[in-house]
Chains A and B, each alone.
Chain A
Amino acid sequence: AQKVTQAQTEISVVEKEDVTLDCVYETRDTTYYLFWYKQPPSGELVFLIRRNSFDEQNEISGRYSWNFQKSTSSFNFTITASQVVDSAVYFCALSRGSSNTGKLIFGQGTTLQVKP
């Protein structure tokens, strides 16, 4: 079965702290894609990153970085020097199947609160 687990329900940090959001996935597919989305209080999920199963290179985008490790089936997300604007719900997602449907399985979400 395919599954995405975000074990951290809520995280609270003080501004400028670093924070890591965990994501563990299960799949039997050899080809798959992993995603992170951010949902600010406005409600609209915003795409952050996409990673395919053949590319284990870590990625950095400004204060955001992602660590993909197939050996542990994890795709963790780190925010460096967090800011109040980072407060949101963050979802990790897995595309399922090798067919062309591309339906996503989402994790439960992690609510991040960054306090000033």
Chain B
Amino acid sequence: DVKVTQSSRYLVKRTGEKVFLECVQDMDHENMFWYRQDPGLGLRLIYFSYDVKMKEKGDIPEGYSVSREKKERFSLILESASTNQTSMYLCASRVIQGIATNEKLFFGSGTQLSVL
């Protein structure tokens, strides 16, 4: 089975800190995604990566950046954490076999980030 691992389940940071959220997948998937999940808003796409060193902004990229130096690892960076970035962050990956739009995503268990 595909495994998507997020480094921390819970994280508490202070306003202004630089925060790194790490995600690793073990199935050689090309695509990787970062979402944030907030009550009443569902999942919103922050960034995604087609492949190594390739990235594209999602719907809410402000305040975030990403890094994908190796195929298995996709990092989300909060340059200067703010309280409105308190949220559940979910990483996902996907293999591409033909048409991307019909491929399912494999998710990690999420990182609940609290910014104080």
> B-contacting residues of A (Cβ < 8 Å)?
4, 6, 9, 31-33, 35, 37, 42-47, 50, 52, 91, 93, 95, 97-98, 100-104, 106-109
* Majority secondary structure of chain A interface residues (helix, strand, loop or mixed): loop
B40 and A44 contact, CB distance less than 8 A = no
Known: A43-B88, A91-B42, A107-B42. A102 touches B107 (CB 8 A): no
- Contact among B40, B41, B48, B99 for A100, CB-based, below 8 A: B99
B100 and A101 contact, CB distance less than 8 A = yes
- Contact among A31, A35, A108 for B42, CB-based, below 8 A: A108
- Contact among B45, B99, B108, B109 for A104, CB-based, below 8 A: B45
A103 and B45 contact, CB distance less than 8 A = yes
A50 and B40 contact, CB distance less than 8 A = no
Q: How far is the CB of A60 from chain B (nearest CB, A)?
A: 19
B interface residues, how many (CB within 8 angstroms): 31
- Contact among B31, B50, B103, B108 for A44, CB-based, below 8 A: B108
Tally of A-B Cβ pairs under 8 angstroms: 72
Q: How far is the CB of B23 from chain A (nearest CB, A)?
A: 12
B109 and A42 contact, CB distance less than 8 A = yes
Q: Which residue of B lies closest to A109 (CB)?
A: B42
Given the complex, which residues of B lie within 8 Å of A93, measured CB to CB?
A: 43
Known: A43-B110, A45-B90, A100-B100. A108 touches B41 (CB 8 A): yes
Given the complex, which residues of B lie within 8 Å of A37, measured CB to CB?
A: 105, 107
B104 within 8 Å of A (CB atoms)? yes
Given the complex, which residues of A lie within 8 Å of B94, measured CB to CB?
A: 102
B101 within 8 Å of A (CB atoms)? yes
